[in-house]
Amino acid sequence: MNSNPNQSRHAKLHQHLDGYAAEAKGKTGVSRIIKAASYSRDGFIAAYYNEAAFRQVVWLNALLLIALIFLPFGLAVKMVLLFASFFSVVVELFNTGIEAAIDHTSTAKHPLAKVAKDVGSAAQFLALTLLFMLWIMAAVSVWW
């Protein structure tokens, strides 16, 4: 028997949350994969319609991917550029999620909210800087 009441309370809470999470997430196997894909689709749609920065990153990378098809880069360079494009979209999704969570908590100005939003923005700045630098290096390797 558990002699520590805090551990017992923690175990009950953990059990309750596990039950809730399992109920919210649904089944296992293929059904779970289909639900997860549906949640991902909803996330893409929400980000696209609610965040201008996400739309800009998506369109920028769509143009870069079209260019990638036609430009004479080697396979390894194309793979790196493709990774960098996806990376910038992923970072923007995280940034959008952080901003939404902060705004849900409160729209009042708060120093920690500013830090969180600024850090997300800085991460996206680095991802886009990486993308830009890799494209410059790829172009230089082919044309100079």
Supply the residues annotated as catalytic: 92
Closest CA to 111 of 102, 100, 123, 122: 102
